[in-house]
Amino acid sequence: MNELKTVGFLGLGIMGSRMARNLAQKGFGVVAWNRTSARVDELARFGVKPAATPAELARRVDAYCTCVADPAALRLVALGPGGLLEGAKAGQLFVDFSTVSAELTCELEAAFGAKGVDFVEAPVTGSKGGADQGTLVIMAGAKDAAFARAQPLFAAVGTTTIHCGPVGAGTQVKLAGNALIALMLEGLSEGMLLTQRAGVDPRKLLEMVRASGFRSPYYDFKGPAMLDRNFETAFSIDLMFKDLSLFLDSAAKHRVPTPAAAAVKEVYQLARAQGKGEKDISAVVTSLEDLCGERLK
Ligand SMILES: NC(=O)c1ccc[n+]([C@@H]2O[C@H](COP(=O)([O-])OP(=O)(O)OC[C@H]3O[C@@H](n4cnc5c(N)ncnc54)[C@H](OP(=O)(O)O)[C@@H]3O)[C@@H](O)[C@H]2O)c1
């Protein structure tokens, strides 16, 4: 039995707007709230209804989902004045799709649990395209019963769900995954720039990578986009900087050395200092190009 008929969605950015649309198109009654209310209006044609505040939204639905930028935004929307917790009722389900810290997701599980609300941490990967097509990969952290309740929502936005463990576990997997993406992208950027500077076509490097044992669909997708100068934002430099910062905070807490992630975070800091924070992460190559005085061709 699908007990979840009405679902609230908070945070209609690149990811959340597409996830909310998929929930509405797959039969849920969706009520939405976004800091910038015009983004709720854009979903009205899919039957999405507006809510005045997160608290008011929580009073109207069976479950609520969040997909906001960072820990500060999630804290405000969930625990701040007029936040979800004020309207929360026993028996509801709260699924957070944002990428934040494990400390915050554990805090949310405790705060909402005290009101009888099940909490599921569910950061995602798959970017704008995956959110659009409903093919996200979900890294869930939750108690078994809460995880089971969230299945109909997961099926509407994703194709693969990995139950990583209790709340906090999904975040650890997500942050490690994003550190890996940042390192992969940095490796490709540095490799292509040096190949070109040495007088060799960087497309030859991509051709070799695609034929090799270290090929990746990520390189198939990002490599040609970088060479074609297509830096349309799917995942911003600001948000990757946030994720690398969270990864390094966790590494410090657990006393794990992560020198490569620390170095790559500085490349993202450079890009932000150059005013590129809202550009796609693939635009970090342009920061290296600025230092080299040469563009990839
Ligand atoms: N883009 C990706 O490829 C991707 C992939 C996996 C995971 N994620 C994660 O998913 C989350 C959302 O990413 P996104 O790419 O959709 O980001 P985005 O397009 O920048 O959207 C961010 C959302 O957070 C809201 N927000 C920001 N600060 C807020 C605040 N102080 N109070 C209330 N709301 C606030 C924004 O509201 P406004 O509309 O008013 O600005 C917007 O709805 C992030 O945690 C990100 O790390 C992103």
pLDDT, average across residues 250-273: 98
pLDDT tens for residues 203-216?
999 999 999 999 99
**Is 20 a residue whose pLDDT tops 60?**
yes
Instruction: Tell whether 139 and 12 lie within a shared domain.
Output: yes
Instruction: Tell whether 204 and 263 lie within a shared domain.
Output: yes
CATH number at residue 72: 3.40.50.720
CATH number at residue 189: 1.10.1040.10
Burial 138-163 (b: 16+ CB within 10 A, else e): bbbbbeeebbebbebbbebbbeebeb
Instruction: Tell whether 46 and 160 lie within a shared domain.
Output: yes
Domain membership of residue 208 (yes or no) is yes
pTM across the whole model: 0.97
Mutate to test the pocket of ligand 1, among 42, 53, 57, 67 (most ligand atoms within 8 A of CB): 67
Burial 207-232 (b: 16+ CB within 10 A, else e): eebeeeeeeeeebeebbeebbeeebe
pLDDT, average across residues 276-280: 97
pLDDT band with cut points at 50, 70 and 90 for residue 7: very high
Instruction: For residue 39, give the H/E element and its range.
Output: helix 38-41
pLDDT tens for residues 71-102?
999 999 999 999 999 999 999 999 999 999 99
Residue nearest to atom 10 of ligand 1 (CA): 98
Instruction: Tell whether 42 and 107 lie within a shared domain.
Output: yes
**Is 1 a residue whose pLDDT tops 70?**
no
Mutate to test the pocket of ligand 1, among 10, 19, 22, 35 (most ligand atoms within 8 A of CB): 35
Residue nearest to atom 24 of ligand 1 (CA): 68
Structural domain total, the chain? 2
Instruction: Tell whether 162 and 176 lie within a shared domain.
Output: no
* Containing structural domain, residue 283: 172-292
Domain membership of residue 250 (yes or no) is yes
- Does any ligand 1 atom lie closer than 6 A to the CB of residue 68? yes
Instruction: Tell whether 25 and 162 lie within a shared domain.
Output: yes
- Does any ligand 1 atom lie closer than 6 A to the CB of residue 12? yes
